[in-house]
């Protein structure tokens, strides 16, 4: 157990008030450093923000992206301080930026600068687009992709390939309304509108990618020191140059999470940690992978896992 672990970092939608604050109570210097760095770059006290914000405030893309990134990096540092480091890294959508930092491609400071710029660009694009996202439950990714290609509904795109039985689509309001009826006729179990700011991971927010490009160009990307997997390709990232190119494409490209899970499992991973808030990726991993995934977004989550690890070792 824990011989070859993957760290999985969640994206938008995982956030909740008070997240990551329990790590501050542990008195870790690394936690204090990350909170201080995020506060400096955001020009606000992130401890106070996470303590006082409600769910509606945290849903804003420009606010949630830096906050979730902080809540992803803190437990990863906490685990590292206790001798648990990843053999592989991957992040879902926004979570890929924490994976870039933990895999050594970018520094923590640049990570926060990038997610701040990315969040602002995506919020602006979402305000313009008026579209949204919906989860299609009960059809395979291959079937959903084939139906979208067949129907050719203007403004409808596959956005997230989450699991063998869940795909998220992005679209204009009109496209999602038409798609709901068609998917139900095709036997979909559920069509669930998501509470997100816009039609992310689709060409409908191409303006966000262009707005984000100068911030991305200004940051040096190094080759991964820990194997890193890409949302855009579903495969391992081979170089810093490739990682930077994929970071721009990721804004408008589907998240191929099922392919990432398969690629990591094929590398012999024996356990995964959802290193950030919530348990969404834990559930998706269980749908696709034969090895366990452990929630690791709170101090209590991590202590439970470490106790199990020590018990096995003894």
- The predicted pLDDT at position 187 comes to 86
Per-residue pLDDT tens over the stretch 278-290:
999 999 998 776 7
Per-residue pLDDT tens over the stretch 49-62:
999 999 888 888 89
pLDDT above 60 for 313: no
Q: Rounded to 10 degrees, what is the CA torsion of 169, 175, 177, 180? A: -40
Written in H, E and C, the secondary structure of 146-167 is HHHHHHCCCCEEEEEEEECCEE
Look at the block and give the residue holding tokens 């991305």: 216
Element containing residue 33 per DSSP (H, E): helix 29-42
Determine the length of the chain. 314
- The predicted pLDDT at position 27 comes to 81
**Quick check: 222 and 106 in contact, CB under 8 A?**
yes
The residue that leads in pLDDT, 170 or 28, is: 170
- The predicted pLDDT at position 192 comes to 94
Per-residue pLDDT tens over the stretch 188-228:
989 999 878 889 999 999 999 999 999 999 999 999 999 99
pLDDT above 70 for 314: no
- The predicted pLDDT at position 28 comes to 84
- The predicted pLDDT at position 195 comes to 78
Strand, coil or helix: 190: strand
Delimit the domains of the chain by residue range.
5-126+203-313, 131-193
What are 163's two structure tokens? 């699991």
pLDDT above 70 for 312: no
Q: Bridge partners of 136?
A: 167, 191
**Quick check: 117 and 137 in contact, CB under 8 A?**
no
The pLDDT confidence band at residue 111, using thresholds 50, 70 and 90, is very high
Nearest Cα residue to 160 out of 201, 100, 119: 201
Same fold, 5-126+203-313 and 131-193: no
Q: Does the domain at residues 5-126+203-313 carry the CATH identifier 3.40.366.10?
A: yes
Global confidence as pTM: 0.95
Q: What CATH number matches the domain at 131-193, 3.90.420.10, 3.40.1350.10, 3.30.70.250, 3.90.550.10?
A: 3.30.70.250
- The predicted pLDDT at position 309 comes to 65
pLDDT above 80 for 310: no
What is the mean pLDDT of the segment spanning 19-41?
95
Query: Within 10 Å of residue 189's Cβ, how many Cβ atoms?
Result: 13
What is the mean pLDDT of the segment spanning 299-305?
93
**Quick check: 199 and 179 in contact, CB under 8 A?**
no
- The predicted pLDDT at position 311 comes to 54
pLDDT above 90 for 65: yes
Judged by phi (left if over 0) then psi (alpha if -120 to 50, else beta), residue 202 lies in beta
The overall average pLDDT reported for the chain is 93
- Which residues are tagged catalytic? 93, 201
pLDDT above 80 for 238: yes
């Amino acid at each position: 157990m824990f011989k070859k672990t993957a760290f999985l970092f969640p994206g938008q939608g995982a956030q909740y008030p008070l997240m990551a604050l329990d790590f501050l109570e542990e008195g870790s210097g690394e936690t204090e450093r990350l909170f201080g760095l995020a506060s400096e770059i955001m020009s606000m006290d992130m401890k106070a923000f996470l303590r006082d914000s409600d769910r509606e405030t945290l849903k804003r893309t420009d606010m949630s992206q830096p906050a979730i990134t902080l809540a992803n990096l803190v437990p990863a540092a906490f685990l590292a301080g206790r001798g648990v480091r990843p053999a592989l890294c991957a992040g879902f959508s926004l979570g890929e930026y924490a994976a870039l930092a933990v895999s050594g491609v970018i520094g923590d400071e640049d990570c926060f600068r990038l997610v701040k710029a990315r969040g602002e660009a995506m919020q602006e694009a979402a305000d313009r687009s008026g579209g949204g996202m919906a989860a299609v439950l009960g059809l395979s990714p291959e079937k959903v992709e084939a139906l979208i290609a067949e129907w050719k509904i203007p403004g409808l795109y596959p956005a997230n390939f989450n699991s063998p039985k869940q795909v998220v689509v992005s679209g204009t309001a009109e496209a999602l309304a038409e798609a709901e009826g068609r998917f139900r006729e095709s036997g979909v179990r559920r069509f669930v509108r998501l509470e997100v700011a816009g039609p992310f991971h689709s060409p409908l927010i191409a303006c966000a990618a262009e707005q984000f490009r100068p911030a991305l160009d200004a940051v040096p990307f190094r080759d991964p020191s820990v194997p890193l997997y890409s949302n855009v390709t579903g495969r391992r990232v081979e170089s810093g140059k490739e990682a930077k190119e994929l970071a721009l494409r990721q804004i408008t490209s589907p998240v191929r999470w099922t392919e990432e899970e398969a690629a990591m499992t094929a590398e012999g991973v024996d356990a995964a940690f959802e290193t950030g808030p919530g348990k969404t990726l834990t559930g998706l991993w269980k749908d696709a992978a034969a090895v366990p995934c452990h929630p690791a977004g709170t101090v209590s989550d991590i202590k439970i896992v470490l106790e199990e690890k020590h018990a096995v070792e003894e």
